[in-house]
A and B are shown apart, each in its own frame.
Chain A
Amino acid sequence: MLILSVRTLVLYLVIVGGLRLMGKRQLGELQPSELVVTILISNLATLPIEETSVPLLGGVGPILLLVCFEVVISWISLKSRRARRLISGQPVTVVQHGKIVEDRLRDLRFSLDDLMEELRQNGIFDIRDVEFAVVETNGKLSVYQRYGARPITPDMLGMECPKNECPPPTMVISDGELLKGSLAACGLQPKWLEKQLHRHGLTVEEVFLMVCDRNAAYFLLPKEKTGKKAVDKK
């Protein structure tokens, strides 16, 4: 039993390390080659755990080989458009100028139900609102709506960007822990934070959540045990 636990731990560390090496893309939408690698890794990892007659290196070796191979293939496809097309395929336009391209849908074995489902997931319930729809290499549908159906943007209304417009707020205190990097990113000093907390009779340890932006506007949520209310300073 102990040997199984140790082997499982080693394999866990190898797979986590491997996925970290493959990068964040692996955790989101998968390209075909990435999907293959993920399936193979999960199968390879179970072998040395299930069967103690299989040496640990028999699992670790192929996993590392697949991970490294995937990184090299990703690099090649990053450098070469041709390789990228060969490995990941290319996006296919299935709705062009508001018309469904039936041949392409058939080629992709994408039924009308699939198309409608993907459109609904994009928040579009009427096919007439679609100007272009593209099936991406990861199988997701990207939609470009016709002019009349697009959401109104400030640009359409000719509105100018407000002067105090700034990046979204960032978390500066998380469960009683000060995130110094985030505070610096907001262009604020620890002294300013101390002053604000002091005003509300709080310490860093008593704050559950505090988000702040570059205009020094913040939202402060004290821990329940303090019995204090949330503060929203615009």
Chain B
Amino acid sequence: MKRLTIAVLILVLLVAANLYTHSLLDKTGTDMLQRVEELEQLTQSTHTADLEKACQRLLQQWVTTEQTWSRFLRSDRLEAITIQTARLPSLAHHGQTAEVAAGLCEIRILLQEVLAFESPSFSDVFS
């Protein structure tokens, strides 16, 4: 009975941890996507200094998010986003707005893929 109690306690803890990580992933992922969308709108304007600062902020936000995500997600899946995010401030600094826009588009798709893969849907279980 003691073993069963411990096992049930661990199971409850695991379920709680899964729910927590899922909500954390959802929250931080949505924040990141929101920031990317804001940046995509900024690429329409011609203020490259503002765009560069915004790209820097995105990079900082991603560094924090990656630290959290890498505790429960495969880090090789996050590396592609890191590489793309790290390029953006430099591209914005040199006024390559189109490259920034393309990079943001890629980051958005990668983020959406990670979030979609981690959500427990029937197709994800068997994919």
**Interface residues of A, Cβ cutoff 8 Å to B:** 21-23, 52-55, 57-58, 61, 64-65, 67-69, 71-72, 75
Contact = CB atoms under 8 A, between A and B. Distances in A.
B72 A21 contact: no
B71 A55 contact: yes
B3 A71 contact: yes
B74 A71 contact: no
13 contacts: A21-B6, A23-B3, A53-B75, A54-B74, A55-B72, A55-B73, A55-B74, A64-B14, A67-B10, A68-B7, A68-B10, A68-B14, A71-B6
Where chain A touches its partner, the secondary structure class is helix
Interface of B: 3-4, 6-8, 10-11, 14, 17-18, 70-76
Contact of A68 (B8, B17, B74): B8
A65 B7 CA distance: 9
Nearest to A65: B14
A22 B71 CA distance: 27
Contact of B11 (A55, A57, A68): A68
Closest 8 CB pairs of A and B: A71-B7, A68-B7, A53-B76, A68-B11, A53-B75, A68-B10, A75-B4, A57-B72
